[in-house]
Amino acid sequence: MSVCTLRINDHDLAVPLGTTLLQAARQAGIHIPTLCFLEGLSAVAACRLCLVELEGSDRLMAACVTAAAEGMRVHTDTPRLREIRRTVIELLFTEGNHVCAVCVANGHCELQNLAVEVGMDHSRLPYRFPQRGVDLSHAQYGLDHNRCILCTRCVRVCDEVEGAHVWDVGWRGEHCQIISGLGEPWGDVNACTHCGKCVEVCPTGALFHKTDTSEEKQGHPERLQALMHARTHQQWNP
Amino acid sequence: MSACLRLCTAASCRSRGATELLEHCRKALASDQAQLRVKEVGCLGPCSDGPLLAIDPTDRLLSLQEVNGSDLETSLAEALQRGNDATGLKQWQPSGSRELSPDEPFLNLQRRLVLGRCGVVDPESLADALAAGAWQQLPRVLEQNDPPAVIEIVRRSGLRGRGGAGYPTGLKWATVAAMPGSQKVVVCNADEGDPGAFMDRTLMEGDPHTLLEGMAIAAFAVGAQQGFIYVRAEYPLAIERLRTAISAAEQQGWLGRGIGGSGFSFEIELRVGAGAYVCGEETALIHSIEGRRGVPRPRPPYPAEHGVFGLPTLINNVETFGNIPALLELGVEAYGTGTKVFSLTGHVQRSGVLEVPMGTSLRTIVETMGGGAPQGRQIKAVQTGGPSGGCVPASALDSPVDYDSLKALGTIMGSGGMVVLDDTTNMVDIAAFFIAFSREESCGKCIPCRSGTVQLEMLLRKLLERRGQVADLEQLEALCHTVADASLCGLGQSAPKPVLSTLRHFRGDYLALLPAAEVQR
């Protein structure tokens, strides 16, 4: 196994070739915020929170998809990156209707935690209050588009892990929306296996168990990771 | 050369009634004993004077803008009775028509390499293209059978990608050629979608065989067997003429299996895009060709390594491929610094498509060739590079048009759209127009582009409605930098450029929208 050495902030590291900067940083105990990234799913580099600076380059790189290379000098927490992270969180809050007080995920929400982490106590940009709907057609689960941040974890887990491909993204740009089936109500999509993986990996209160009331939803991404480990290593009894 | 009428029936002249005039010409020629023929051709250049008619062999160019179809028919029939030589056609001037002198700068300052056969040949006739010199370079290349030599010529020519980014073409070809594997793909990006850009459309409608030959040569050089032309559905005529050209080239044996009796096989498929601007971004384009949702993915891996269906893929723009036959014919020395095709539009007296030597000054193109601003107006700026580009102020019109000079001015060469803006233009309005375009065309995958462009447009609208404060201007600038730095693909990264460039060169237009008391502080 080939190894390369690099420096992240003030840590010197040696990691196997092919390791991403995010993996390398996590191994070294360096925290880089992420939202669309979830271990066990393919990385899409869409949320832009894990951007890092590389010395000698003006271009920012997404840590989740950038491979570590010999001699890299990486910075994960610069003023430029902090401004981007705060702005990204603000943009997310302004494009949806995130009313934490009445949300099923209040207190266990990755978006809420990130807002606290980046110091976003208010948005400098105006809230847009879009008209969005709620889909309660499924027997067990609900989808509240007002809380969806289009991280596409549900799309990927359903396609890549469950193999059902119930979810996808419809329309473009600001009109993007998560759709089930061919834009049908979730409850009418025969492909859905009711496995609930999408609900477990959703970082906000957008996908939820119908029995959850405010503050009661807890995401369980670790269940996905346990399943992926079991599948990869054929170890079904942890 | 026998006498011949060449009537432009490409998109622009067609929209001004060229097809109706064509019918009248055909009727007039039906009874002609001298066997003069009328030929449908692609763009002759000065579109604002269209419909345009050229007369061979004298090469006279007539604007038929004010010509009535039946008058044309009668006067043409009369002229032919006098003969299609010095006595007839040479003097022929249908009433209402206007002759364009070959000495006009719009015509005589051009150097047509890519568009050399555009407006000359019938785009639907392979025989016509062959007679004019099409498909002569591919057999030479196949005979020499030395792909690295072809790449070396492209590299030495200094040809850079004409799609906008300006990446060295030779380097791109060499990278794809060096990739392992026996299956490779060549893709032509014909998803031209910048507002004010119609260069690629012009070549595809006027001379599709040059594009096909360029692609075939590229495929031979990099070792590809499969080709795709990704063309937008908004170009129905280009699609039709490409289809005809591809099937004619297949029948003639210039595309398909065992080309020219060699072991080289290359097939080209058309892929018609449904009109998403982002699909011009190469990774989104690849997804779209594969039948998936057209959204970009992070690079690396670059298409050269992992492209269409995971195969090493060469992606070049229409004009880049269009340069190849001319480059091989002329050789590196005579090719020189090459040319650039521009589509000139906006507040300018003469608009159209022109091809000039690389490094021609903006002033030459806009004022000398285009005739400058309309009567009584001054040029304020020239917008280049579309939504990914910026505005060059009138004070910088003497800059040469090349990749580096434009970059220094805060804009880009882009694919070649050039929109002239006169002093009636509010530059904040222009910035808002381009941001609205980017907002509309964002794929929505990454947050800075999806939501940032919406907020940028809201800020600009606020300023335009005179509800803005100095703080909004600061916010606007800061958000521009964030969207540019943080977006996933080139569309988002360059979306704020029209705003940043107008802020840089025309800050006064922004300040004029703020309350006077605020600005003085």
- Report how far residue A137's alpha carbon sits from residue B55's, in angstroms, rounded to the nearest whole number: 69
Residues of A with CB below 8 A from B437's CB? none
pLDDT classification of B164: cutoffs 50, 70, 90: confident
pLDDT classification of B165: cutoffs 50, 70, 90: confident
Contact partners, residue A172, CB within 8 Å, separation at least 6? B276, B278, B441, B442, B443, B444
Residue B342: what pLDDT?
A: 96
Q: Tell me if A175 and B444 make a contact (CB, 8 A cut-off).
A: yes
Contact partners, residue A131, CB within 8 Å, separation at least 6? none
| Closest-approach residue (CA) in chain B for A51 | B486
Residues of B with CB below 8 A from A33's CB? none
Nearest Cβ partner for B451 among A46, A94, A172: A94
**C-alpha distance from A235 to closest chain B C-alpha (Å):** 31
What tens digit of pLDDT does each residue of B270-291 get? 999 988 999 999 999 999 999 9
- Give the bridge partners for A142, in sequence order: A208
Taking chain A (238 residues) in runs of 10, the rounded mean pLDDT of each run is: 93 95 96 97 97 96 97 97 97 96 96 96 95 97 98 98 97 96 96 97 97 92 92 84
Q: Is B375 helix (H, G, I), strand (E, B) or coil?
A: coil
| Four-point Cα dihedral B210, B216, B219, B221, nearest 10 | -80
Type of residue found at B160: R
- Report how far residue A29's alpha carbon sits from residue A87's, in angstroms, rounded to the nearest whole number: 25
Q: Tell me if B478 and A83 make a contact (CB, 8 A cut-off).
A: yes
What tens digit of pLDDT does each residue of B34-77 get? 678 899 999 999 999 989 999 988 889 999 999 999 999 999 98
**C-alpha distance from A183 to closest chain B C-alpha (Å):** 15
pLDDT classification of B103: cutoffs 50, 70, 90: very high
Q: Tell me if A44 and B443 make a contact (CB, 8 A cut-off).
A: no
- Region B215-230: mean pLDDT is 98
Q: Which residue has the tokens 């008058």?
A: B71
**C-alpha distance from B506 to closest chain A C-alpha (Å):** 25
Beta-carbon count within 10 A of B458 CB:
19
A173 interfaces chain B, CB cutoff of 8 Å? yes
A126 interfaces chain B, CB cutoff of 8 Å? yes
Cβ burial A69-97 (10 Å sphere, 16+ → b, else e): eeebebebeeeebebbbbbbbbbbbbbbb
Both tokens assigned to A84 = 């981007």
**Residue B520 reports pLDDT greater than 70:** no
Q: Tell me if B446 and A168 make a contact (CB, 8 A cut-off).
A: no
pLDDT classification of B324: cutoffs 50, 70, 90: very high
- Region B16-31: mean pLDDT is 91
Q: Tell me if B442 and A173 make a contact (CB, 8 A cut-off).
A: yes
Q: Tell me if A87 and B487 make a contact (CB, 8 A cut-off).
A: no
Q: Tell me if A150 and B450 make a contact (CB, 8 A cut-off).
A: yes
Residue B510: what pLDDT?
A: 97
pLDDT classification of B91: cutoffs 50, 70, 90: confident
Whole-angstrom Cα Rg for chain B: 24
Q: Tell me if B486 and A92 make a contact (CB, 8 A cut-off).
A: no
Residue B32: what pLDDT?
A: 65
pTM of the model: 0.94
Residues of B with CB below 8 A from A175's CB? 444
Q: Tell me if A172 and B441 make a contact (CB, 8 A cut-off).
A: yes
Distance of CA A162 to the CA centre of its chain: 18
Question: What is the DSSP secondary structure assignment for residue B44, as one 8-state letter?
Answer: -
Rounded alpha-carbon distances, angstroms, from residue A127 to A112, A130, A205, B509: 16, 9, 19, 27
- Region B160-179: mean pLDDT is 94
**C-alpha distance from A238 to closest chain B C-alpha (Å):** 35
Q: Which of B435, B450, B473 to mutate to test the interface with A (most CBs of A within 10 A)?
A: B450
Residue A147 half-sphere exposure toward CB, CA atoms < 13 A: 25
A87 interfaces chain B, CB cutoff of 8 Å? yes
Q: Which of B108, B114, B116, B111 is nearest to B132 (CA)?
A: B116
Q: Which residue has the tokens 């594009």?
A: B211
Q: Tell me if A45 and B455 make a contact (CB, 8 A cut-off).
A: no
Residue B507: what pLDDT?
A: 96
Q: Which of B292, B407, B447, B472 to mutate to test the interface with A (most CBs of A within 10 A)?
A: B447
Both tokens assigned to B507 = 């800050």
A174 interfaces chain B, CB cutoff of 8 Å? yes
What tens digit of pLDDT does each residue of A147-203 get? 999 999 999 999 999 999 999 999 999 999 999 999 999 999 999 999 999 999 999
Residue B302: what pLDDT?
A: 95
| Closest-approach residue (CA) in chain A for B481 | A84
Whole-angstrom Cα Rg for chain A: 19
Residue A219: what pLDDT?
A: 87
Q: Is B339 helix (H, G, I), strand (E, B) or coil?
A: strand
Q: Tell me if B448 and A172 make a contact (CB, 8 A cut-off).
A: no
What tens digit of pLDDT does each residue of B421-464 get? 999 999 999 999 999 999 999 999 999 999 999 999 999 999 99
Q: Tell me if B440 and A173 make a contact (CB, 8 A cut-off).
A: yes
Q: Tell me if A46 and B446 make a contact (CB, 8 A cut-off).
A: yes
Rounded alpha-carbon distances, angstroms, from residue B261 to B104, B255, B258, B296: 46, 11, 5, 40
Question: What is the DSSP secondary structure assignment for residue B366, as one 8-state letter?
Answer: I
Residue B238: what pLDDT?
A: 97
Residues of A with CB below 8 A from B446's CB? 45-48
Residue B127: what pLDDT?
A: 96
Q: Tell me if A87 and B293 make a contact (CB, 8 A cut-off).
A: no
- Report how far residue B346's alpha carbon sits from residue B352's, in angstroms, rounded to the nearest whole number: 10
Q: Which of B119, B292, B144, B321 is nearest to B219 (CA)?
A: B321
Q: Tell me if B442 and A88 make a contact (CB, 8 A cut-off).
A: no
pLDDT classification of B521: cutoffs 50, 70, 90: low
Q: Which of B287, B443, B445 to mutate to test the interface with A (most CBs of A within 10 A)?
A: B445
- Report how far residue B154's alpha carbon sits from residue B175's, in angstroms, rounded to the nearest whole number: 13
